[in-house]
Amino acid sequence: MSDTTPVTLLRSALASDGTRPFTTFYDDATGERVELSVVTFDNWVSKTANYLQDELSVEPGDRVALLLPAHWQTQVWLLACWSVGAVAVPDGDPARADVVVAGPDALERGLACPGERVGLSLRPLGARFAAPPEGYRDYAVEVPGFGDRFVPYVPPSADDPALEIDGRTLTGAEAADAGAESAAAWGLAPGDRLLSTLPFTRASGLRAGLLAPLAASVPVVLCRNFELIDESARERRISTERVTRTITDSEG
């Protein structure tokens, strides 16, 4: 079995060219645009992994339900879970999770989690909630003080469970392989830039929005609420962001 995982792919991207864009996020309901380099993204992942390990006491095999949309912070949480060895469960049942991570629209649902609950405001630049949500830790308040480098107490193996999606459980190696298969199918190569509008609650959305770009070492442009802008605005974005491949609901 391959020892390649999404985490080792991120390490490779960091070693190759940490200054290149890793992810660009748009929310067309608010006008938000955020771009993170590989280095900046990796810093967020390390801080979040340290937070999971040292503050929330997450251990390998623990289940983390991610009640989040396609968003750059969701990408961070996925890589942080895999760095610790936790099983990330997008749109998972909070009642069966050791930790739940919820966005503003899922806070009530997430209260079913018997363990730790972390709330994400999903406001621009990772800002905190205007008022702390009851029953939750505010991610934006707690995570900045954690370290920019992460070393797991128990290094996860490539054949450990890493992701539950679409009724399947994938190991880290299988998640990386899924990304590589999609990257090959879409013809992704150095110099490309992929745009995805797919949700992260489906395997196709995770492949387009994270796993395939990681495997091909190309930047990704995540677009939330893309349907709110007209065709001319979409074309301008594709041109401005130098997008070479788009993945939409009809293709996912």
Per-residue b or e along 208-224, where b marks 16 or more CB atoms closer than 10 Å to that residue's CB: bbbbbbbbbbbbbbbbb
Nearest to 122 by CA among 99, 139, 109, 136: 139
- Answer whether residue 206 shows pLDDT above 80: yes
Q: Give residue 126's pLDDT.
A: 83
- Answer whether residue 252 shows pLDDT above 60: no
Please state, for a pLDDT cut of 90, what percent of the chain lies above it: 96
What span, in angstroms and rounded, lies between the C-alpha atoms of 160 and 143?
26
Using pLDDT thresholds of 50, 70 and 90, give the confidence band for residue 249.
Answer: confident
CA dist 206 → 23, 141, 251 (Å): 13, 27, 13
What is the tens place of the pLDDT at every residue in 226-243?
999 999 999 999 999 999
Question: What sections of the chain are H helices per DSSP?
Answer: 6-17, 38-50, 72-84, 107-110, 139-142, 172-185, 203-206, 212-216, 231-240
Q: Give residue 124's pLDDT.
A: 87
Q: Give residue 169's pLDDT.
A: 98
Q: Give residue 187's pLDDT.
A: 97
Length of the chain: 252
Please state, for a pLDDT cut of 70, what percent of the chain lies above it: 98
pTM recorded for the entire structure: 0.97
Q: How many CB atoms within 10 Å of residue 249?
A: 13
What span, in angstroms and rounded, lies between the C-alpha atoms of 143 and 165?
26
Q: Give residue 2's pLDDT.
A: 80
Q: Give residue 1's pLDDT.
A: 54
Domains of the chain: 6-247 (3.40.50.12780)
What is the tens place of the pLDDT at every residue in 11-30?
999 999 999 999 999 999 99
What is the tens place of the pLDDT at every residue in 129-177?
999 899 999 999 999 999 999 999 999 999 999 999 999 999 999 999 9
- Answer whether residue 215 shows pLDDT above 60: yes
Q: Give residue 251's pLDDT.
A: 53
